[in-house]
Chain A
């Protein structure tokens, strides 16, 4: 049964990708939406048999004996929220593509999205270091193709930068997992958890690998270009899930398997995380393009996730988990909305936009909601992760961590500043020239509504995610010295 459920969650996206190549072009998005919903259902089916600790479902088959690689997949409370998030965002992407003119064959785009989903789910399910690495790498080609094939004017440059920069991370990940696995004599992430293997150097290699993906300042500069040029669905998946590979890897492979080294390195990670928060916010204050701005905002938000991880307490890791999921919802929503705005108003330049409050009040309202959720208004999804990242930092105590907590809080205030600037420019400022070209389409509504609900539900009931992850997170945190 476990094997069946896992295979369905992992295999259906590939089947969907193949299916996409054979459906008629005109109905392709509908087929895509249907497939995405079935995959979402399959992902939810994994919830059956969930447990507080340990794996809910597990498959472990010998694969490459000579490298010690096992086809070892499993789902637990740490990985499921991200699998669910991925499935939901893919539904949103497919819905967004309904009745939307796309430059190239929409079937290929959908197929690539499903391939990407396959790779992402694979990373979250992988319990073998090498399998983890394989899926981690597998996310590159489809994402590259989505950006290069359906992106904006500078898509070639952006896609290449994305692929090569994150490949640096992958190459380091390869070195890191191999070093770790050889040192431990096993590639089994379940046995590796709790530590005893690897050195600070190995942890450092892995940390840099994940920091590139997360991305952690100053290894982030692939992100703004990729986001700005990617098509809307690409941005949604990039920000919504792809960045989480880094932070998920940090927790599962980095901190989870090398607690001692992680504890030694935590001040450094903490400093960089807070640097990301503050510098990301400052850069956003000076940004003039909407998509680029939101891309940079991700740098700051992921900074909070990494701060939680650096703090390394149960609360910190829980904060990282919830901030991961929340960021997926919020930034996914923001990118969908920015996509709609750019399409309707023909520009993403802050200076040229304005008055959406008057010309499209619903769009303005939802954009406003996404924005205030993004800067962490209490009661919305973004709050819990950021607040508890700071809580965890304060928990660590001492001069350094208190300073970090203060700087993070200042960064949070700067975040408010730049988002309010955006709202003022885009929503409130009376505009004369720009008028919308269309109203809401059905697909847009289907894409937006689940994300809005996610933002609200996660804000009012974060325990939906936190109760799942508490068990595994506690185990990881307890191993930390």
Chain B
């Protein structure tokens, strides 16, 4: 049953991909219908899977049927390398089902929204196909039961992001941004691939279950696991835009806005966090890795928030906020507490909702105003009331205002950090408390600049057409209601659920690492009480939000046309340029590589090939000289006589020597 649902989940977007790539460019309508229908079917598949996973009464203990029920995939071996056989495996559990549902729903919203958003675009057809492929790739990552399937989806997403970011031919920097997005993430992927290969070689298989069992059984030394952890982390940092591989994310704004929604909410960046959860036992095996994760996450949280504080482009503000929010998720994964991954994934889900909403709203704003810059907006609450309402909800959720989604999930993170032992916990807690008021400040700044004061643009703004408005309104639901997830245990039978957790742990052999892995719990229960908000921390964070918002309002109030960020003074350009890390990356990596490339070419042409040509030329010259020595009878005679004498000498000398 699961297999059939998952077939629907994957096959539907695959068909959309094929149709989209093979259809002629003018077949807009056909492709639009196919894409939307396919994504909807896929979402249906995800929903059914979730329902099945959540309610199906699994037989416990030693019945192999459980494995069969949750795992699906090709029984055909697609590649037999002798030492390794590659069979693509998919596996659906609670986590993947939930994520798949999230991915397909956001993708559905994006597909519907795009029909309106790209009304004028000649290249809608390949665009829609690429979005379907993007969705399919992310779904592949989500349901991957083996590391190679994971990598296939992982890299396919990279190429999709490349294609879609570079889609808009009117944006001059789009091609560069596209290349940067793919390349920076790919640099991280070197590590990811190497890490996976070391794991697979050690375990003798690419099957995640086998690999994780091998990790548990001590097939790897501590050093190896530290290395593997750090290598995998590189890939995750690339995909999830974590410091220092985050530089692509703000530039990726060059892509069409719906694509930003897709990348920031459902795909790409979510993949990193998901992989972190999926392979959690590997990371938990090394303190060094955990600490590194904590530091990277914490830096990203603060860095993103500060950069968002000064950016003028509303999409850049949202992009930096994504970085910051992803920082939370990654940072909390460094904690060894039981609820850590649950909290991270909870935030991932709620963030997906409100960030998709925010980007679609930003698209509506940009569509209406004709500019990305907040300095050309202002006072839009009157002309675009519906967009204003939706954006307000999204921003409130982002800032963590109760009772919107962000509040609950951020509280879960705070709780997890509070209760975590060791340095990692302290780092994450500090970063969280520091970032909450900053987040509120930039959210407030954005809100005020866009919707209040006087309109500073030229075009006549209006609310978007229904095809764009529909998805926006639909996405306000999770933004407001995602907090209800914490009430979910009321829906399903608690005892069945716990039993299934244990049953799955028996199969995957994950006892002793993380009681909740891989079926992280989204619910407060006897096993993990700390996901629900605690009154003290909730109060503190709400106060911090208010302080941040108030500061921003105070800065804005003096001059309603000016950017409140000017109050930052000398720090503003530093923040706006995201601490000049782009320039640093350019100086430390890009330009040295280019110089090296030029040197390699020079060396190859002048030295390596030069030697070859010198040998050729030298032989020819030698031939010419030799031939010139052979002109004229006198020369012949001298040559011949000398030669004869020489031979005689050689004969005698050799005779003497070898006697």
Q: Which residues of A pack against B, CB within 8 Å? A: 161, 164-165, 217-218, 220-222, 279, 282-287, 313-315, 317-319, 322, 357-358, 361, 365, 368, 372, 377-379, 383-384, 387-388, 390-392, 394-395, 405-406, 409-410, 412-414, 416-417, 420-421, 423-424, 428-430, 460-463, 466-467, 470, 473-474, 477
B77-A463 in contact (CB<8A)? yes
Report the separation of the CA atoms of residues A399 and B77 in the bound assembly, to the nearest whole angstrom: 32
Let me know if B229 is at the binding interface, CB within 8 A. Answer: no
B194-A390 in contact (CB<8A)? yes
- Which chain A residues border B604 with CB–CB below 8 Å? 221, 279, 283
Report the separation of the CA atoms of residues A460 and B18 in the bound assembly, to the nearest whole angstrom: 15
A409-B155 in contact (CB<8A)? no
Within 8 A of A (CB), among B580-621: 593-594, 596-601, 604, 608-609, 612, 616
Q: Name 10 A/B residue pairs within 8 A (Cβ), A-sorted.
A: A313-B83, A315-B84, A365-B21, A377-B156, A388-B84, A390-B194, A417-B186, A420-B162, A428-B174, A463-B80
A409-B179 in contact (CB<8A)? no
A417-B183 in contact (CB<8A)? yes
Nearest Cβ distance between residue B259 and chain A, in whole angstroms? 15
Let me know if B255 is at the binding interface, CB within 8 A. Answer: no
A384-B83 in contact (CB<8A)? no
B612-A473 in contact (CB<8A)? no
A467-B155 in contact (CB<8A)? no
A218-B156 in contact (CB<8A)? no
Report the separation of the CA atoms of residues A477 and B175 in the bound assembly, to the nearest whole angstrom: 45
Within 8 A of A (CB), among B287-302: none
- Which chain B residues border A284 with CB–CB below 8 Å? 597
- Which chain B residues border A421 with CB–CB below 8 Å? 179
Evaluate whether A394 and B198 lie within 8 angstroms (CB atoms) in the complex, with A319-B81, A420-B162 already known: yes
Q: How large is the interface on B (under 10, 10 to 19, 20 to 34, 35 or more residues)?
A: 35 or more
B201-A420 in contact (CB<8A)? no
- Which chain B residues border A392 with CB–CB below 8 Å? 83
A474-B82 in contact (CB<8A)? yes
Report the separation of the CA atoms of residues A466 and B186 in the bound assembly, to the nearest whole angstrom: 27
B148-A378 in contact (CB<8A)? yes
- Which chain A residues border B598 with CB–CB below 8 Å? 286
Please, which residue of chain A has its CB at the minimum distance from the CB of B202?
A394
- Which chain A residues border B155 with CB–CB below 8 Å? 377-379
Which of A220, A368, A391 is the one whose CB lies under 8 Å from B200?
A391
Report the separation of the CA atoms of residues A322 and B79 in the bound assembly, to the nearest whole angstrom: 10
Report the separation of the CA atoms of residues A417 and B184 in the bound assembly, to the nearest whole angstrom: 10
The 10 closest A-B pairs by CB, nearest first: A314-B82, A285-B597, A282-B600, A286-B601, A221-B609, A428-B175, A378-B152, A286-B597, A315-B81, A315-B83
Interface centre among B21, B76, B166, B201, by most chain A C-beta atoms within 10 angstroms, is B201
- Which chain A residues border B174 with CB–CB below 8 Å? 428
Count A/B pairs, Cβ under 8 Å. Answer: 151
Let me know if B570 is at the binding interface, CB within 8 A. Answer: no
Which of B81, B179, B190, B594 is the one whose CB lies under 8 Å from A318?
B81
Which of A394, A416, A423 is the one whose CB lies under 8 Å from B197?
A394
Chain B positions 130 through 162: 1 when the CB is less than 8 Å from some CB of chain A, otherwise 0: 000000000000000000100110111011001
B80-A466 in contact (CB<8A)? yes
Please, which residue of chain B has its CB at the minimum distance from the CB of A424?
B175
B169-A358 in contact (CB<8A)? yes
B193-A283 in contact (CB<8A)? no
Please, which residue of chain B has its CB at the minimum distance from the CB of A421?
B179
Please, which residue of chain B has its CB at the minimum distance from the CB of A322?
B79
- Which chain B residues border A282 with CB–CB below 8 Å? 593, 596-597, 599-601
Which of B79, B148, B194, B593 is the one whose CB lies under 8 Å from A406?
B194
- Which chain A residues border B198 with CB–CB below 8 Å? 394
Nearest Cβ distance between residue A455 and chain B, in whole angstroms? 14
Evaluate whether A318 and B82 lie within 8 angstroms (CB atoms) in the complex, with A285-B594, A420-B183, A421-B179 already known: yes
Report the separation of the CA atoms of residues A137 and B483 in the bound assembly, to the nearest whole angstrom: 74
Within 8 A of A (CB), among B420-473: none
Let me know if B394 is at the binding interface, CB within 8 A. Answer: no
Please, which residue of chain B has its CB at the minimum distance from the CB of A372?
B159
A466-B81 in contact (CB<8A)? yes
Which of B82, B178, B596, B608 is the one whose CB lies under 8 Å from A470?
B82
Nearest Cβ distance between residue B204 and chain A, in whole angstroms? 10
A315-B82 in contact (CB<8A)? yes
